[in-house]
Amino acid sequence: MSTALAQQANSSRLLLSNPLVRTAAFVTIVLITAQTFGTGGFPESWNIGIAEPITGVQSWVRENRSSNWSFRFFFNPLISAVEFGLNSVESFLVWLPWFIPPIIVFLIIGRSRRWGLATFTAFVVVYPGIVGLWPESIVTISLMAVSVAISILIGVPLGVLTALNKRFESILRPILDGMQTVPATVYLIPIVLVFGIGPAPAAIATVIYAIPPMIRLTCLGIQQVPKSAVEAAHMFGATKRQFLAKVQLPLAVPSIIAGINQTVMMALGIVVIATLVGAGGLGQEINQTVRRLEAGRGLVVSLAVVAVALVLDRVSRSLVVEPGEQRFHISRKLMYTTISGLVFATILGRAMGWIEFPFSWGTSFADPIDSGFTWFRTTFDVVTRPFNDFVVRELIVRAQTLLNQTLAWQAIVVAASTFSYVVAGWKMSLTTAIGITFIGLTGRWPDAVDTLTQTVIAVVFSMLIAIPIGIWLGRRPRAESFISPFLDALQTIPNLVYAIPFVMIFSVGPVPGIVAAVVYALPPGIRLTALGIRQVNYESLEAATTFGATPRQVLRGVRVPLAMPSIILAINQMVMMVLAMAIIAGMVGGGGLGYRSIEALTKPDAGLGAEVGIAIVIMATILDRLLQATAKRLQAPAAN
């Protein structure tokens, strides 16, 4: 008996000597203590009052906008320059006869001898006019043109400097990472504080949001110049300036054009939200369709936005000569003849009064779409209503009760920081603890819990749909190529458009925002999962097959585990996409930080906007870093 007790005591001593066991026991004790003596919900009395000084700054800005030197000599001239650019571009596009832009687009793309693509893109140019949105499309194109031009003027030099200066790159890289992590709505809050509301502030917000890919891809293009070109330039004694102007920049042109393309796509992604600060154009039309619950008109207007995106995308791509691609050799005589023809056509169009778009079908053909959604809601109400009630009652309300009342906020901080320590180390653990606590100190704890709850629900639904489809497509290249255009279309449509049909189906509330976020997040989730499955190395698959594994065993035991880093990155992208939909969820009754963002922008209330912005940034940063660290831990070791 004594021997058995001694053996048991030795086993207990050995177990307690394990550092992992001791750490787990310590964390458990701390967690139980935090839950026992903590308080449910963050104390409102701990609010440090960030809003008050920010609101004071806003009042000071309003009073001193015309007298303070910083506004007189910097901010106001900046706004005036942007306004001048917007007005000039818009006036020029309005002055041009309506048929000149499609002809120019046709000629640019026609250089690649792709006549079908050139004809289709030229037709796409006139689509907004056919549906009665020609003036609105001109406003949006003007905003896009000025924003992208400013992004190029700033982004290319910064990209070159980043590529040539390692110290500057180490400083700028985390800033760019943060800019691409932060949801678009956060950019609008300080812009409104400093510049007010109008098209020019919207353009500045668009530049800040869209410039990171311009800088990154310019830097990448400079850094990837072949070593043979570098050595040849040095052998011929080229100076640094000559080397940059005659070797690096010309060879980096394809990457720079790709950066312009990505900047265009990013700018279009914010065009709808920018209407909250006075951008106007097609984004304003989309906002009105949400208020009127007109899914058909929303689809028509969103296709006009897609048309703008498609035209800008194809034109920018056509400027790059790909290997093996045939293009017209344009002589000076042909170039001068073409320009003269365009000038003559412009003068003739002006003289004949062919300026405004000659006809419009309007959006009446979209009425059947609205009728279809109404029929769907009435017919399937027996399904949609129980689903809506289940999500609200069983998921959202229970999760909010758990995080706001049942669990102590101290226990939530301990649990989150412990998970961060296991995944990413003590620095991320400390960052998580400070970040979550600071959200409470801003007074946005209930709103953050609301947004986090809806985000988690949307991400779980997205995972349940995207990951199985991605795994299925990753093993079937033909099916993936067939569904790829559909995924491209989903990624091009403005995110607000996703909410319109679901508001008509489920009525106003959190569920339309959640479902719309799921649909919006599916394309990157499916693509990255399929990519991971497809890129599993052939040797691993061959080895598993050689040992007699069935296709199902190969999938579960080889493909999915080796593709797990890509799957985690897919989840990361879905989280970011869902968070980007937070403000859209707030616009359709979702509440949380999204609703507070709209409230801050429409009042405007810079203090509330600062609190909301800080909470969204902290939440997005923590989730992004944790998921990136998880993907890194799951990454297979590199082969020696």
Whether 446 shows a pLDDT value over 80: the answer reads: yes
Whether 275 shows a pLDDT value over 60: the answer reads: yes
Alpha helices in 236-331, H assignment, sequence order: 240-243, 249-251, 253-270, 282-292, 295-318
Angle of CA points 8, 10, 14, to nearest 5°: 115
Measured N-to-C along each axis, helices 134-164 and 115-130 cross at an angle, to the nearest 10 degrees, of 130
Residue 26 or residue 83, greater confidence = 83
Q: Which of 203, 193, 189 is nearest to 84 (CA)?
A: 203
Greatest mean pLDDT among 4-8, 232-236, 355-359: 355-359
Kindly give, in sequence order, each residue whose CB lies less than 8 Å from that of residue 292, ignoring residues fewer than 6 positions away: none
Helix, strand counts (H, E) of the chain = 34, 0
If DSSP codes are grouped into helix, strand and coil, which group holds residue 14?
A: helix
Whether 27 shows a pLDDT value over 80: the answer reads: no
> For the segment 542-573, what is each residue's pLDDT rounded down to a tens digit?
777 777 777 777 777 878 888 887 888 788 88
Rounded Cα distance, 79 and 566, in Å: 43
pLDDT of residue 225: 73
Domain boundaries, the chain: 38-49+395-635, 131-323
pLDDT of residue 347: 86
> For the segment 420-429, what is each residue's pLDDT rounded down to a tens digit?
888 888 888 8
Mean pLDDT value across residues 100-128:
83
Task: For the domain covering 131-323, report its CATH number.
Answer: 1.10.3720.10
Structure tokens at 397: 């309300």
Out of 249-263, 394-408, 426-440, least confident range: 249-263
Total number of residues shown for the chain: 640
Which residues share a beta bridge with 408? 40
User: Do the Cβ atoms of 274 and 283 come closer than 8 Å?
Assistant: yes
Residue 361 or residue 400, greater confidence = 400
Residue 305 or residue 214, greater confidence = 214
Instruction: Give phi and psi for 40, each to the nearest 5.
Output: -75, 130
For the chain, how long is the longest CA-to-CA vector? 112
pLDDT of residue 464: 92
Whether 322 shows a pLDDT value over 60: the answer reads: no
pLDDT band at 323 (very low <50, low <70, confident <90, very high): very low
Amino acid residing at 549: A
pLDDT band at 16 (very low <50, low <70, confident <90, very high): very low
User: Do the Cβ atoms of 139 and 308 come closer than 8 Å?
Assistant: no
pLDDT of residue 329: 61
Which residues share a beta bridge with 40? 408
User: Do the Cβ atoms of 277 and 188 come closer than 8 Å?
Assistant: yes
Whether 257 shows a pLDDT value over 50: the answer reads: yes
User: Do the Cβ atoms of 199 and 167 come closer than 8 Å?
Assistant: no
Whether 294 shows a pLDDT value over 80: the answer reads: no
Greatest mean pLDDT among 222-231, 282-291, 402-411: 402-411
Mean pLDDT value across residues 306-327:
67
SS (H, E, C) 516-582: HHHHHHHHHHHHHHHHHHHCCCHHHHHHHHHCCCCHHHHHHHHHHHHCHHHHHHHHHHHHHHHHHCH
Rounded Cα distance, 447 and 470, in Å: 33
| 571-574 long-range contacts, CB within 8 A, separation 24+ | 571/459, 571/463, 571/525, 571/627, 572/623, 572/624, 572/627, 572/628, 572/631, 573/521, 573/524, 573/525, 573/528, 574/459, 574/462, 574/463, 574/466, 574/521, 574/522, 574/524, 574/525
User: Do the Cβ atoms of 584 and 501 come closer than 8 Å?
Assistant: no
For residue 40, the 8-state DSSP code is: B
- The mean predicted confidence, pLDDT, of the chain is 79
Whether 166 shows a pLDDT value over 50: the answer reads: yes
Whether 640 shows a pLDDT value over 70: the answer reads: no
* H or E element in which residue 599 lies: helix 592-602
| The domains spanning 38-49+395-635 and 131-323 adopt the same CATH topology | yes
Mean pLDDT value across residues 434-445:
89
Kindly give, in sequence order, each residue whose CB lies less than 8 Å from that of residue 3, ignoring residues fewer than 6 positions away: none
pLDDT band at 461 (very low <50, low <70, confident <90, very high): very high
User: Do the Cβ atoms of 585 and 577 come closer than 8 Å?
Assistant: no
Rounded Cα distance, 453 and 510, in Å: 11
pLDDT band at 631 (very low <50, low <70, confident <90, very high): confident
Is domain 38-49+395-635 annotated with CATH 1.10.3720.10? yes
Residue 511 or residue 305, greater confidence = 511
Mean pLDDT value across residues 224-250:
72
Whether 236 shows a pLDDT value over 80: the answer reads: no
User: Do the Cβ atoms of 598 and 276 come closer than 8 Å?
Assistant: yes
Whether 484 shows a pLDDT value over 70: the answer reads: yes
User: Do the Cβ atoms of 172 and 158 come closer than 8 Å?
Assistant: yes
Ordered DSSP codes for 268-284? HHHTTGGGGGT--THHH
How many other β-carbons are positioned within 10 Å of the β-carbon of residue 487?
17
Whether 320 shows a pLDDT value over 70: the answer reads: no
pLDDT of residue 639: 44
Q: Which of 525, 618, 631, 635 is nearest to 181 (CA)?
A: 618
